[in-house]
Amino acid sequence: MEKKIVVLPGDGIGKEVVDEGIKVLDTVAELFGHQFKYEEDVIGGAALDQFGIPLREETLEKCQQADAVLLGAVGGPKWDTLPGHLRPEKALLGLRKGLGLFANLRPVEVFGPVVESSTLKREVVEGVDVLVVRELTGGIYFGLKDRGEYDSGEAWAKDECIYSVEEVRRIAKVAFEAARGRRKKVTSVDKANVLETSRLWREVIQEVHQEYPDIELEHMLVDNAAMQLVRQPKQFDVLVTENMFGDILSDEASVLAGSIGLMPSASLADAGGLGMYEPVHGTAPDIAGQGKANPLATILSCAMLLRYSFGLEQEADVIETAVKSALEQGWRTPDLVLSQDDPKSVLGTTEITNKIIEYIRKSALIQS
């Protein structure tokens, strides 16, 4: 199979983890006889430094013409004081909107071997398997185009939260369809006791649910959901929510898995179409450049890329199994080690990728 992947490393550890993801994709390509062509471009802070804007039109066009996009993360303290439209993070919003990627899938799977990496009790987290379905191109991160901008020192600032029926309907369908292939339960998270957009959200979710009588639906207010997620996470199967709530709840859910360095994501327009794949985490300025970032979230995002954009199920499975094997054998990155005297073998970014590649090669040998 021949495919074109646009690679957007971004800033901070984004570059470090994306490099590792490509090594894994190259290994899979070599073993399974595929040809992946990469086209790298700058976005975020890197694009600001080089071109004066966080997202160039030509970058968006390149992505539109690709088969998939692999992204690291954007932002960092260097650009924190810039006005809103120049923030590196706006590049991400522009890409998501420009590519029509309204469905963000963030699986939260607790890998058995790293249960002890979670700060929560074993009985709470063991076996957790939640899919967060986050609406990605609406809500308060977008608002109205002509809303103006806050200037430092001004007396007030404004963000607007808008949702249309159609925006909620299409993400509801993604969630109910996903639940059909899982444990058949959807929890819709909103703030319908306060927000008008949430009242619309709840109404539309209920309406779409009529088409899915085989799926159990419950509604939960977001403050309660934040609490339930760490109190009793196994009550959740598919959790569907709007843009900002999904952003926050998925970072919270990473505590169940042991580290945000394990959390992959896929941002999709339509099933089988162009997708963008990125770790849930940001640029981690506190550890950037030290060779200790956990690349597994990105490597698992590469598995999602193969599965959702290229339909390469077996190749995706091989990557996921290799990640599990490496963790089972006790290999860890520093973020997965809670105490100094933890006996687990601690590896850097490149070293743990090399282990994953070793396991991928071994499993390909067994299969051939």
Ligand X SMILES: NC(=O)C1=CN([C@@H]2O[C@H](COP(=O)(O)OP(=O)(O)OC[C@H]3O[C@@H](n4cnc5c(N)ncnc54)[C@H](O)[C@@H]3O)[C@@H](O)[C@H]2O)C=CC1
Ligand Y SMILES: CC(C)CC(=O)C(=O)O
Annotated binding residues, written as ranges, equal 76-89, 96, 106, 134, 223, 247, 251
Q: Is 251 labeled as catalytic in the residue annotation?
A: yes
Q: Does 89 bind ligand Y (CB under 6 A)?
A: yes
Q: Which of 26, 129, 159, 251 is catalytic?
A: 251
Q: Is 223 labeled as catalytic in the residue annotation?
A: yes
Nearer to Mg ion, 16 or 247 (CB): 247
214 exposed, middle or buried (CB, 10 Å; 0-12, 13-18, 19+)? exposed
Q: Which residue is nearest to ligand Y (CB)?
A: 89
Core vs surface per residue 183-198: b (16+ CB within 10 A) or e? eeebbbbbbbeebebb
The count of other CB atoms within 10 Å of the CB of residue 24 is 24
Q: Which of 3, 90, 191, 355 is catalytic?
A: 191
In the three-class reduction of DSSP (H, G, I as helix; E, B as strand; rest coil), residue 187 is classed as strand
Stretch binding ligand X (CB under 6 A), from 69-77, 103-111, 232-240, 360-368: 69-77
Stretch binding Mg ion (CB under 5 A), from 31-39, 240-248, 269-277, 344-352: 240-248
Residue 303 backbone class (left: φ over 0; alpha: ψ -120 to 50; beta: rest): alpha
Among 1, 31, 93, 364, binds ligand Y (CB under 6 A): 93
The count of other CB atoms within 10 Å of the CB of residue 5 is 22
**CA–CA distance, 122 with 128 (Å, rounded to integer):** 10
Q: Does 86 bind ligand Y (CB under 6 A)?
A: no
Q: Does 293 bind ligand X (CB under 6 A)?
A: yes
Q: Report the relative pairing of strands 129-135 and 103-109 from DSSP bridges.
A: antiparallel
Q: How far is the CB of 86 from ligand Y (least distance, A)?
A: 14
**CA–CA distance, 143 with 159 (Å, rounded to integer):** 7
Stretch binding ligand Y (CB under 6 A), from 89-97, 229-237, 318-326, 342-350: 89-97
Spatial CB neighbours of 177, under 8 Å, sequence gap ≥ 6? none
Binding-site size for ligand X (CB under 6 A) equals 22
CA torsion sign for 138, 139, 142, 145 is: positive
CA distances from 113 to 21, 127, 326, 361 (A): 22, 11, 9, 21
Q: Report the relative pairing of strands 2-10 and 266-268 from DSSP bridges.
A: unpaired
Among 7, 43, 63, 92, binds ligand X (CB under 6 A): 92
Q: Does 249 bind ligand X (CB under 6 A)?
A: no
Question: Which regions of 151-233 does DSSP assign to beta strands (E)?
Answer: 185-190, 216-221
Q: Is 191 labeled as catalytic in the residue annotation?
A: yes
Q: Is 308 labeled as catalytic in the residue annotation?
A: no
Binding-site size for Mg ion (CB under 5 A) equals 1
Q: How far is the CB of 63 from ligand X (least distance, A)?
A: 15
76 binds, among ligand X, Mg ion, ligand Y, none (CB under 5 to 8 A by kind): ligand X
**CA–CA distance, 94 with 57 (Å, rounded to integer):** 10
Stretch binding Mg ion (CB under 5 A), from 11-19, 60-68, 241-249, 285-293: 241-249
Q: How far is the CB of 212 from ligand Y (least distance, A)?
A: 27
Structure tokens at 108: 């939260």
**Rule CB under 5 A: which of 187-216 touch Mg ion?**
none
Nearer to ligand Y, 135 or 247 (CB): 247
In the three-class reduction of DSSP (H, G, I as helix; E, B as strand; rest coil), residue 185 is classed as strand
**Rule CB under 6 A: which of 218-247 touch ligand Y?**
247
Q: How far is the CB of 248 from Mg ion (least distance, A)?
A: 8
Q: Which residues bind ligand Y (CB under 6 A)?
A: 89, 92-93, 247, 280
The residues annotated with a catalytic role in the active site are 141, 191, 223, 247, 251
By CB under 6 A, name the binding residues for ligand X.
13, 17, 73-76, 89, 92, 260-261, 278, 281-287, 293-294, 297, 335
